[in-house]
Structure 1
C-alpha cells in the first residue's frame, strides 16, 4: 500500500524539518511539501535540506490545495502552516486569513478526499490563554480562566474548532491535534526567541511568569510519530519542568528591566516598528502570568515523552545563539533613561497593576 504525506508550511524551519525526516523514511513513498513561498533550501538561502520532498507552491486559501491532494492520492496530512506573528509585508488580517481560512480550505479538501486516512494539526498551548485565574497546570480538558481574544492564540482556538468538526464528519480519519509549548532550539525563530536575543530583557514589574518550552528535536519527533501511527485526540507537548523568566535571564546572562505593563507594550510596539521583536497582547499576558501544561496524556498514548527538558532546551538555544550577556553599563544607563521618559507619562503607574 502506498503512503503519501502532505506537509504544509515547509518554508519555515519546523515544517521543513518534519518534511525532511518523513522523506528520509523508506516506508513513505512520497512527501509533498506545500507553502506560499519556496523553502530556503530551494531558493539558495540555506535552510533545512528537504531530501526527496516534492515542493508545490500553493496558497492554502485557494481551492488549489484540493487538486494537490486529489492528484497525489494523499493519505496523511501534517498541517504545520499556522503562523504565530504577522509577516513584515502583511498584517494581522492577512495572518488570520492564512491561519483560519487556509485551515478551512485544507480541511474541506480533506473531507472530500477518498484517500485521506490521517490528519495531524500543529496547534499551541496558547489556546489556554494566560490569566491570574488559570489552574496551576493545564490538562487538555481544562478551561482557560480567560479565553484568548487576540492574535495567534485566538486563531488557534478557531482552527481547533474546525478540526473537531472535521473529526466528527470523517470518523474514518485519525485526527491528532498537538498543542505545543513555545518551540526552543538553535534553529527556532519566533517572537519569543527574538525577545531572548535582545541586549536587555524588559519584564513586567511585579511578575515572574513560569514558562515551558519544547525543543525543536522533540517537536519534530512527536510529529513524525503521529504522522506514521494513528493517535487520535488532543495532546499537550512540552519539555519536562518549568523555568521562571528571571531564571531564563540569569542563564542567558542578560540584565532585566522591570516596567509597568503600559511601558512594556510601548517597547514592544517600538521593537516591532524596528523589525526586532513583536509582542502581541497575548504575549504580554504570557509575560505576566505564564503558562504550564501537563503532558501525561501524550506519554500514555504514545509510550513516549519529550527527551529534552524545558531547561536544557533553553540552554541549547542560548549556547547556539552565543548571547552576548547584556549591554555595557554606560549603554544600560542610557537605556534606563529612555525608558524612564516612557514610564513617567501620566497614568502609567496607575496602569501597572
Structure 2
C-alpha cells in the first residue's frame, strides 16, 4: 500500500534534509513531516514544498504524540550517526543513536497506523579486521571495529529494529546498510579526510575502500519510502579504490605513520576540529571493507548510478581540489636531480 503520511527523522542532517525536500514535492503524498532538534538549513527549508518541520527530539517519549496525532503510516529513521564528520559529543550522539531509536520504535509499535519503517544503518556494523572476509554479505556476522564507537551503536540499533519486526510483523521494515558517503556537497568524515593536504595513513597497509555517492543514497531511501522493499540491503557502489589510489587521485600527499601513532594523530585532528578520526576509522584505513551489493540490485531493484571511482572523482571535481604538489614541477625536479647525478 502506498504511503500517505510520512515522518522523517534527522532532517537537519545531510540525507534527511534532502529526503524531506524530495518527499515534500511529491504530489502523491498527503503529508510529510520532518523532525529534528534543529531545523534544516535555510536553503533546504525554501525547497521542502508542502513538507512541514516539527522541532522534536526522538529521545523524548513525546515523539509518540507526533506520530499518533499526525496519523503517520510511514516512518523513515535517518537520524542515526555512524561517523560524524567533525568532533562532537560522544554521549549526545550515542543517546540519539540508541535511546532515540528505542523511543522511536516504541512509538511505532504502539501506533496501529504505522505500517512501514525505513532505517538508515551502516556497513560499519561488519567491522574491519585482519580476519574480515574479502566481501561482506547481508548474512555476515556483525562485529563492530570497536566496542565503544558509533558502529557499536548501529549494531544495537539494528537489534531493536529486529525486535520491532518480531513484535509487529504487519510493519514492512527496510534496513539499508550504507557504505561511506561521498559527493561534492556532503560533509562526511572521508570528505574531510581526503581534503587534508597531508593525509596520514597506516604504514604498511593499503585498504580497499568502497564508497557511495550521496545521490544514490538518497535514491535508495526515497525508493524504500515510496515502495514496499522489505529486508536488509547493503547499499554501496560497484568497484573499489585502494587508499593510496584515492589519495593520488585527490592530489594529496600521503604520510605513512606507524600504527601506534595513529590514535595520537586522531586526537590532534579532533582537537583542531578538523575531522573526527575515531578508532573505527583507523581500523577501516588499516583493513578496508567491501560489501556485496547484488541483493540491492536484484531484490531491491536499484543499481547505483555511480561507481566508487566515479563518485570519488565527482567529489574531487565538485570540491575543486587541486594537487598539493604540481606533478609537472616534480617531474622537472626529478629530471634535474637525475642529470646532476649523472654529471657527478
- Name structure 2 gaps, 5 residues minimum: 328-344
The question of whether the paired residues in 2 share the 8 Å contact of 1:5 and 1:76 is answered with: yes
1:137 and 2:135 matched = yes
Q: CA RMSD in A?
A: 1.9
What secondary structure, in the 3-state scheme, does the structure 2 residue paired with 1:78 have?
strand
Match of 1:8 in 2: 9
Distance of 1:251 and 1:138 partners within structure 2: 26
Match of 1:234 in 2: 232
Distance 1:316 1:140, change over 3 A: same
Distance of 1:112 and 1:105 partners within structure 2: 11
Pairs within 5 Å for 1:157-168: 157-168=155-166
The question of whether the paired residues in 2 share the 8 Å contact of 1:20 and 1:48 is answered with: no
Pairs within 5 Å for 1:96-245: 96-144=94-142, 148-245=146-243
What secondary structure, in the 3-state scheme, does the structure 2 residue paired with 1:34 have?
strand
Match of 1:22 in 2: 23
The question of whether the paired residues in 1 share the 8 Å contact of 2:59 and 2:100 is answered with: yes
The question of whether the paired residues in 2 share the 8 Å contact of 1:120 and 1:175 is answered with: yes
The question of whether the paired residues in 2 share the 8 Å contact of 1:61 and 1:98 is answered with: yes
Q: In terms of mean alpha carbon deviation, does 55-64 or 19-28 score higher?
A: 19-28
CA-CA distance at 1:294 after TM superposition: 0.1
Distance of 2:283 and 2:145 partners within structure 1: 12
| CA offsets 1:134-183 (integer angstroms, 9 cap, x no match) | 11000000125666423110000000000000000000000011000001
CA-CA distance at 1:237 after TM superposition: 0.4
CA-CA distance at 1:267 after TM superposition: 1.5
Distance of 2:198 and 2:123 partners within structure 1: 26
Match of 2:332 in 1: none
Distance of 2:55 and 2:106 partners within structure 1: 19
Distance 1:96 1:87, change over 3 A: farther
What secondary structure, in the 3-state scheme, does the structure 2 residue paired with 1:300 have?
helix
Match of 2:333 in 1: none
What secondary structure, in the 3-state scheme, does the structure 2 residue paired with 1:28 have?
coil
TM-score, normalized by length of structure 1? 0.88
CA-CA distance at 1:52 after TM superposition: 2.0
Distance of 1:48 and 1:237 partners within structure 2: 29
Match of 2:252 in 1: 254
Distance 1:133 1:160, change over 3 A: same
Distance 1:157 1:134, change over 3 A: same
| CA offsets 1:28-66 (integer angstroms, 9 cap, x no match) | 11110000101112xxx6688322210000111101110
CA-CA distance at 1:193 after TM superposition: 1.1
TM-score, normalized by length of structure 2? 0.90
Match of 1:82 in 2: 80
CA-CA distance at 1:196 after TM superposition: 0.8
Match of 2:70 in 1: 72
CA-CA distance at 1:194 after TM superposition: 0.7
Distance 1:165 1:100, change over 3 A: same
Distance of 2:72 and 2:296 partners within structure 1: 26
